[in-house]
Amino acid sequence: MLYICKKIKQTVMKYLGKKSLSSFLSKALKVIWYLLLVIFIVGVIIGTLFSVYTLAQKLQASDVVKPDFSIFDKDAEDINLDDIKTIPFGLKLFFLVYFSGVMVLMLKMIEKARELFKNFMNDIVFNKTNVTIISRISKLLIWFSVITFDLSSLVVSFLLLILCEIFKNGTFLQEEYDLTV
């Protein structure tokens, strides 16, 4: 029996605690978060500069250019820079806001996941903060799936809500155990 308990403890330590999978994931998510932040900032700056530049060119032109929506009927390799310049400014602004919203949701989800794995790294598993973190991740993922029209992320978000309830019950049992002992 003692041998089985030692094996279980060794197996759990591989996933929780220092120098474990959870500590690796916490560090990896930190790197991914900063990379996405840089991509987000560069994307917003380039998108804004490009939109303002093309708007300024249209305003300086003597003849008014009609928006050309035929760009959406072309394949990706057939699109060139001149085609993109004909997209209306409002639509470019919409894409910029859409991109910003998606990136902000992704950054928030990664930040919350990093907090969760950091708690796992510190051997904090069944705790009210973890329940709150999992709940927030699932709610952010629901918004993300609605905005991106992604059914698979919606399914994952509902699975996370179920996992949140499991953690809530586990937290209750852990608190009762702590009070009993």
Confidence of residue 79 (pLDDT cuts 50, 70, 90): low
Mean predicted confidence (pLDDT) in 94-123: 91
Q: Is the pLDDT of residue 6 over 70?
A: no
Rounded to 5 degrees, φ, ψ at 20 are -125, -175
Mean predicted confidence (pLDDT) in 53-74: 62
Residues 154/106, Cβ–Cβ less than 8 Å: no
The radius of gyration of the chain's CA atoms, rounded to the nearest angstrom, is 24
Q: Is the pLDDT of residue 145 over 70?
A: yes
Confidence of residue 85 (pLDDT cuts 50, 70, 90): low
List, for residues 12-41, the tens digit of each pLDDT value: 556 777 878 888 888 899 999 999 999 999
Q: Is the pLDDT of residue 91 over 60?
A: yes
pTM attached to this predicted model: 0.74
Lowest mean pLDDT of 7-21, 58-72, 75-89, 117-131, name the range: 58-72
Confidence of residue 96 (pLDDT cuts 50, 70, 90): confident
157 vs 143: CA distance, rounded Å = 9
111 vs 26: CA distance, rounded Å = 10
Mean predicted confidence (pLDDT) in 129-143: 94
Confidence of residue 52 (pLDDT cuts 50, 70, 90): confident
Residue that wins the pLDDT comparison between 39 and 177: 39
Residue that wins the pLDDT comparison between 69 and 16: 16
